[in-house]
Structure 1
């Protein structure tokens, strides 16, 4: 009689143990599944983070139609033969007669508001009006950028320096007496705000490294710009006053002048 009572009791204990083991196994499987889901979510989150990594906040200056030109001027372009200009050139509103150069010095189009000037002139007054307006808007944009990364670096003397991407503000003139390097990637942007003049000494070079591109470099200059003999420059010049290149100087960039651009056996290459 006692045996009959013990056997059912043992059966109940056995069933309870089996049920408990199955429950623990289910809990373990559920935990593993949750961990797997969390890991997948983490991987997805990391992947999204990599794809949306910011590339910098400084935006290029929009040149508009002015960006189609290697040299654009409101009051004239002159050259001491022989300069070599790769890219379009143009003047407006002044007459084409203010472009004093030979057609053979330009690999590109020569635009004017009228038929005066070099024999190779193409008349396009409306387009030039737009280009000049865009040039002035670009100057205002560059001059108005806020929160500079560097203010009056080197007290205006940037010779010998390696310049990283960013916004540079100078409340005085800027001189480049020795070589400088602009170091950054192909999408990086440099904007230089210069309230005075910009002068680069003879035989001095601006060099790009790390994939930096001249098309992403903007020099907004209120005063006159002067490059010494056989010097080399990189970037777009937005000049409120004259841009003057002395004998043998070269630039990989654009000369966008609200007055005149003067050349003396120079090389100008639109980037």
Structure 2
């Protein structure tokens, strides 16, 4: 990356305040920036604050589908806002069409977050809704948004009842030698209600349970809560601390953590004074031929403070108008340390752009980036491959189409909803979060953390509507991934087509041992196998190259193609097969088109959404409790017209 030009060097009294306008609005147009504001206040030292605020993150995300009807709508801003200007008149939601939805709006100061709550119990089901933040929203200095920020999303047919979980913590549980000046962060499995992330629901204690004073904020773009010690600003040396997130923390549908999350770490004896650095950028500096709907990604050298990665610190502008920033949202993926800017509208074709990261970004010890950086890239007129919209199928970890879903064993957990477009008698060996049992026995009883939906309306569900819509939307997604709808897939056995695939492949096992960049991949034999009897036992690694929105589509032959991963049988293979994600790759962006079905072997770790017209089987009997072998799917198993069968299987629904 190049050092930023003299434009960034003129920044003065506070590194977190920058000359930025994130031009927001339906259509994504951008205007020349005016530094004017509405009676702006003076900053410390007499400097006038004329920087306009911007919307950094929107939840649900622009274009999202399958949004639970009980979901609240939230945005976060790049600056502290004047709460009096964040109201039901400056933050509105409408739909169908321009029909206004009555609601209340609350602003959480520490998180710079505004939340819209429908006055009714739920939003309209199966409807495109439009949310708007108007220019009446102003920061504490009186500066207004440059333009209205407008985005749309589509609701599902049912509410979201899946409780959130804590998926990652920094410092990690059991960590030692934590820096004395570290902030404490926890990342959730889904978007949370910022008003429930407080100094009451997120606490830190020292020896003897003594509370540590601190402030708590929530970064929506990272699904993360951050605890910042205040008095003193550093923790004690060589001391064990306990962090706790209580069940008062709730997602945007009002679902609380099932139980409080507690972890302990120990400090070292020194503070962290090393500034973070940028490891890579995607697109890389000087790259040409970038597709117009590409996201801009930056990978950092260490864990960052998510609250500092905003629309003010990660910006994109056309190179010929560097002070006019594009409208977009900013996210930060905690596990991969990747920050992502997604433009509201596609980039202009054959145009040069600058992506800028300012010194306002900081690590969790409060160290700022040593110097601001810029990368320049040039677009062509192409479009990147995007993930298909799953619509009503999005909340389902497992879906049996018109057939059945059957579980054997006591260790299966489906984190999400489960359903069949059939009678409730087609569900076997499972209990959902409402306490409804579906043909369970003392040896076959798995847990669905959401609800089970069928045509005959089990407890707390809507008769037929949710599963019928899910079936239709899953079929649409399945067809969109076919070779006929998405031609031009890369043959991984051809070095000419795939020079970065790690050598020439061959036979059904051609994915084993490979590391694949994003793309659409087809099988030369019509099927995909990764390990198995008489085949190479080696993992498949998907490398995003720092692109958090990178997409993989694996196509088997239309009508007859199958997928087999690992071995099935009564015992775990010596080397269970794994489909691994690296450098920003995300499970939500991996798709498998397998018309004739899939078999995921015992003890394997599978990744991505599998869409099939035939049955999907996850594991076979692999021991008995407490030594049962667990097979994991980080994705979804969706069989459109056939059964899903699982044995001691954990399904982790991808975070959207």
For normalisation by structure 1, the TM-score amounts to: 0.77
Give the Cα separation in 1 of the matches to 2:468 and 2:409.
Answer: 28
Q: Distance in 2 between matches of 1:67 and 1:230?
A: 25
1:40 maps to none
Counterpart check, 1:160 vs 2:435: no
After superposition, the Cα gap between the structure-2 partners of 1:257 and 1:152, relative to the gap in structure 1 and judged at 3 Å, is: farther
Structure showing greater Rg: 1
Change (3 A) 1:211 1:261: same
Secondary structure at 2:549 match in 1 = coil
- 1:198 aligned residue (552, 555, 563): 563
Partner of 1:266: 649
Counterpart selection for 2:479 from 135, 140, 154:
140
Which stretch of structure 1 is more off in the superposition, 186-195 or 163-172?
A: 163-172
- Whether contact under 8 Å (1:110, 1:121) holds in the other structure is no
Residues 53, 121 of structure 1: CA spacing in aligned structure 2 closer, same or farther, 3 A cutoff? farther
Equivalent residue number for residue 182 of structure 1? 542
Larger RCO (CA under 8 A, 6+ residues apart): 1
Provide the residue aligned with 1:213 in structure 2.
586
Residue of 105, 110, 118 corresponding to 2:452:
110
CA distance 1:44–1:213, shift in 2 (3 Å) = closer
Q: What does residue 253 of structure 1 align with?
A: 635
Unmatched runs of 5 consecutive residues or more in structure 2: 1-317, 323-351, 356-376, 433-446, 495-504, 532-537, 568-575, 621-629
Please state how far the C-alpha of 1:232 moved relative to its aligned partner: 0.4
Q: Please give the alpha-carbon distance, in whole angstroms, between the structure 1 residues aligned to 2:409 and 2:450.
A: 17
Do residues 173 (structure 1) and 527 (structure 2) align?
yes
Q: CA RMSD in A?
A: 2.1
> How many residue pairs end up in the alignment?
225
- Cα 1:49–1:136, aligned 2, differ >3 Å: closer, same or farther? same
For residues 52-95 of structure 1, the C-alpha deviation after alignment (integer angstroms, 9 at most, x for no partner) is 75596111111111112111112010000221110000100x21
Q: Normalized per residue, which structure has more helix?
A: 1
Could you list the runs of 5+ residues in structure 1 that have no partner in the other structure?
Answer: 1-42
Q: Pick one of 74, 78, 87 that aligns with 2:406.
A: 78
Aligned to 1:91: 420
Residue 467 of structure 2 aligns to a residue in which SS? helix
State whether structure 2 residue 150 is matched by structure 1 residue 150: no
Secondary structure at the aligned position of 2:353 is classed as helix
Give the conservation status (yes or no) of the 8 Å contact 1:61–1:141: yes
1:162-203 superposed Cα distances (whole Å, 9 cap, x missing partner)? 011000112511110121100002110001111221101131
Cα 1:44–1:229 change in 2 (3 A) is: closer
Once residues 240 and 131 of structure 1 are traced to their aligned partners in structure 2, the CA distance between those partners, rounded to angstroms, is 14
Distance in structure 2 (CA, Å) of the matches to 1:63 and 1:134: 6
TM-score by length of 2: 0.33
